[in-house]
Amino acid sequence: MDIILKTDIAGLGYKNDTVTVKPGYGRNYLIPQGYAMMATDSNKKIVAENIRQAAHKAEKIKNDAQATADNIGDLTLTIPAKAGDSGKIFGRVTNTQVADALREKGFDIDRKKITIDDIKNLGTYEASLDLHKDVKHKVKIDVVAAE
For residue range 14-40, what is the model confidence (pLDDT) as tens digits? 999 999 999 999 999 999 999 999 999
Question: Bridge-partner residues for 127, per DSSP?
Answer: 116, 139
CA distance 53 to 59: 10
The pLDDT of residue 118 is 87
Q: What is the CATH number of the domain that holds 84?
A: 3.10.430.100
Mean pLDDT across 82-97: 89
Whether 31 and 55 share a structural domain = yes
> Residue 111 sits in which domain range?
74-145
For residue 145, give the nearest of 118, 126, 123, 117 by alpha carbon: 123
- Domain end position, chosen among 49, 68, 87: 68
Average pLDDT, the chain: 91
Q: What's the pTM?
A: 0.65
Domain count, the chain: 2
- Domain end position, chosen among 14, 38, 68: 68
CA distance 141 to 116: 10
Q: State yes or no: pLDDT of 147 exceeds 80.
A: no
Mean pLDDT across 63-77: 90
Whether 82 and 138 share a structural domain = yes
Print the SS3 string covering 88-109: EEEEEECHHHHHHHHHHCCCCC
